[in-house]
Amino acid sequence: MRDLQSQYANQQRLIAALREPRRYPHAARSVEVIETHISWVLLAGSYAYKIKKAVELGFLDYSTLPLRRACCEEEIRLNRRTAPDLYLDTVAIGGSAEIPQFGVQPAIEYAVRMRRFASADLMDKSLQRGRIAPRHIDDLAAAIARFHAAIPAAAAGAGFGTPASIRAAAMQNFEQLRVLLGDDADPDGIAALEAATEAEFVECRATFEARAQQGFVRECHGDLHLGNIVLIGDRPTPFDCIEFNPGLRWIDVMDEIAFPVMDLLHRNRDELAWRLLNAYLEAGGDYGGVAVLRFYLAYRAAVRAKVSAIRAAQSGVSRPARVAALAACRSYLALARRCLGRYRPALIVTHGLPGSGKTTFSQLALQQLGAIRIRSDVERKRLFGLASLESSRGDIYSAEATQRTYARLHELARGILLAGLPVIVDAAFLRREEREAFRLLAQDLSVPFAIASLQASDTVLRERVRQRRNDASEADVAVLHLLQAGQQPLTRSELACTAHFTTEEAPDSETNARAWERFDGLLAAAARCSAGRQAK
């Protein structure tokens, strides 16, 4: 402990010296220092230098110079996977703490050298300033999905992503929170959250094990909150991944995507959170991961609570900064409790011809309801090994292919409902037998069922189909006419659970407002009926 204190004191003198622009081997008008709970980042001219603090936190060990150097080199290797233009090299700092010299041996410290970017371009700050649009969320989802598809899966027997390691990481959060918060801790609240986490872990244990065997545990980023994503050329670019602990990096990909989703929920941007999650799932098809989503959302919220507690407990932190850190800790713990609360599953199917606006409606609905969407156009192509925007080869629209597609949608919907989440099945559902299969699924699982019927005039349908670009649907005007001729109208019993929307009007038009009111009423009434049946 005394050696760590001595090293930390030397580092503080070094940081004070490096505030002088003349210490750098390149032009720098001024130097800005950003301090986190585990590092200092010095912004000087066109570069940023990251120096790791001499700390040992259980999950992280920077207690010696060789360890810090190894972690610097590992940080360069790992972050070049997602941000190759930002991460340059590891540089030695020699001389003395009072008169440091870059590139001189023997080194007294090491730093990661990065290309500097404007802090205003960080995604958390951009969100605060209203600069994040839906397209940024979609681009981020696509970038994460591509990254996950390209990185290796953990080798069998490596020990990563096992139920035991997942539980240990989750429980460690609570152990450390009690120590860090001391008299500021809420013992009963932390104990209740710990018990809820343990209960959810037990529910998910078999799924954790299966996902590790299926290759979903990979060498991920590990710390993918919005403050570690920057807009480079207006494209979200993840950086600053975890290099110090392989166990926190070799994780389930659902654990990874849960972090930015949780971050958006914490910032009260639920609509963007669900947009991000759905875009990611649609890109990669990992709908089975939804079964462990609640656990990972709560886990990530607890991680951020711990980080805030670490910051509050560090020496030299001003009173206002400590108060803010403790408030952030409490808000993250509250979110973790909400994430483990009971969700209200519901099954919603769309109904409509090509061009009627089913996907437009379902995008809006998933953001408002906090639901998972499954698109028939995307899953049909996935069944046949095609990307969503790839043109089909062979007959993937035969009666047999359509049956396979609806069977797959049924399977996915069942899994999502069992995970406790509402699901929107975005498909035409023009035949009664297709609709009936999903109504029976809702009945079997005692969850609310509703049909959202999308309508537009023939002229609008034809024009939309002709103008469609960059979409998974391949329906043309000939297909539209064929489906119009063969569609089976909704029955009287189906109409009783249907809300009719028109996409020729704005979502908040008077007509659609009435439809939304009916839609919400259908789900609420069905939920009450389901609760009544379960109580008997």
Domains of the chain: 2-116 (3.30.200), 123-339 (3.90.1200.10), 347-535 (3.40.50.300)
Helix runs in 97-158, H state only: 123-128, 134-150
pLDDT of residue 279: 98
Question: Per-residue pLDDT for 410 more than 60?
Answer: yes
- Pick the more confident residue, 298 or 477: 298
- In this structure, of 18-22, 83-87, 391-395, the range with the lowest mean pLDDT score is 391-395
pLDDT of residue 534: 54
pLDDT tens, position by position, 340-382: 987 789 999 999 999 999 999 999 999 999 999 999 999 999 9
Question: Look-up: residue for tokens 């941007």?
Answer: 269
Q: What average pLDDT score do residues 239-264 get?
A: 96
pLDDT of residue 406: 97
The tokens for 495 are 């109409």
Helix runs in 341-474, H state only: 358-369, 376-383, 399-418, 432-445, 458-467
C-alpha 277/C-alpha 510 separation (Å) is 30
Question: Per-residue pLDDT for 105 more than 60?
Answer: yes
pLDDT tens, position by position, 419-446: 999 999 999 999 999 999 999 999 999 9
pLDDT of residue 531: 59
pLDDT tens, position by position, 32-62: 999 888 999 999 999 999 999 999 988 889 9
Of 204, 373, 360, 348, the residue nearest 274 (C-alpha):
373
Check: CB of residue 499 under 8 Å from CB of residue 452: yes
- Pick the more confident residue, 131 or 317: 131
CA atoms within 13 A on the CB side of 92: 10
Is residue 178 exposed (0-12), middle (13-18) or buried (19+ Cβ within 10 Å)?
A: middle
- Per the prediction, the chain carries an average pLDDT of 94
pLDDT of residue 156: 87
Total Cβ atoms within 10 A of residue 69: 17
CA angle 191, 192, 195 (to 5 degrees): 85
Total Cβ atoms within 10 A of residue 181: 22
CA distances from 461 to 19, 410, 451, 475, 490 (A): 64, 27, 20, 11, 19
Helix runs in 285-422, H state only: 293-313, 319-339, 358-369, 376-383, 399-418
Question: Per-residue pLDDT for 536 more than 60?
Answer: no
Q: Is 148 helix (H, G, I), strand (E, B) or coil?
A: helix
Question: Per-residue pLDDT for 232 more than 50?
Answer: yes
